[in-house]
Amino acid sequence: MSQNLFPDTPFLHGLTYMPGFALGEEAELVRVVLAVVKAAPFRRMKTPGGKEMSAAMTNCGVTGWVSDAKGYRYARRDPLSGEPWPEMPDIFRSLAARAAAVGGFAGFVPDVALINRYEPGAKMTLHQDVDEQDFSAPIVSVSLGLPAFFLWGGPRRTDKPARLFLESGDVLVWGGAARKFFHGVAPVKQGVHRLTGAARLNLTFRQAL
């Protein structure tokens, strides 16, 4: 199932919501995340302003998103180990391509999966994803574990965000105008999920290079 949540709202064009699209693969996806994390552990990165982010992150693929005092960017090596990021698992590439095709982006080949882990209380403030080279490629997001309210703004930081409740197995595809909109995640509530324990995981598949 997929749907345009807000067909009459030009601000929201480009977003395809696929509730439960990854439900049949949840357990395998979580296992694969744990394998990635063995080679490239979750870490809380610092913003250029010096604040530690509340979500912990890692990456797999030929590049990875990093943040430190020098800024936000993609880097081919994990700064913690100096090694290349773990390879993108086949199930990641396949799920991203299948979801993107449903959203109208046949042929999507992600070169990175950014993996975010939110423990209860963790959040992500409103931001844009603008460190990728080619904004004509979509971003595919997959939620696993504890639920959270996703905050969906507009082209300006001051646009009042809508709230969308995301649960484990939900997939979204962001393309077109939506690709550059402000978005964030409200603080994750306390809870325990059968697959992830007290955590929400979010995978974002990107073409960064």
- Shortest distance, CB of residue 101 to ligand MD3, whole angstroms? 18
Judged by CB under 5 A, the chain residues 104 through 143 that form the site for Fe ion are 129
d(CA 31, CA 33): 5
What's the start-to-end Cα distance of the chain, in Å?
30
Q: Is residue 173 a contact partner of residue 15, using CB atoms and an 8 Å limit?
A: yes
Are the C-beta atoms of residues 124 and 65 closer than 8 Å to each other? no
| Among ligand MD3, Fe ion, none, residue 185 binds (CB under 5-8 Å by kind) | ligand MD3
Among residues 16, 63, 202, 207, the one that binds ligand MD3 under rule CB under 6 A: 202
Nearer to ligand MD3, 124 or 208 (CB): 124
- According to DSSP, residue 46 is labeled B
114 binds ligand MD3 (CB under 6 A): yes
Give the list of residues 6+ apart from residue 180 with CB closer than 8 angstroms, or none. Answer: 128, 129, 130, 135, 155
Instruction: For 120-182, list the strands marked E by DSSP.
Output: 124-127, 139-145, 148-152, 162-166, 171-174
- Residue number, nearest CB to ligand MD3: 202
Contacted by 78, from ligand MD3, Fe ion, none: CB < 5 to 8 Å by type: none
Q: How far is the CB of 26 from Fe ion (least distance, A)?
A: 22
Among 174, 193, 207, 208, binds ligand MD3 (CB under 6 A): 174
Residue numbers 19-58 binding ligand MD3 by CB under 6 A = none
Whose CA is closest to 179, among 112, 128, 131? 128
Residues that bind ligand MD3 (CB under 6 A): 114, 116, 124, 129, 139, 141, 150, 172, 174, 178-179, 181, 183, 185, 202, 204
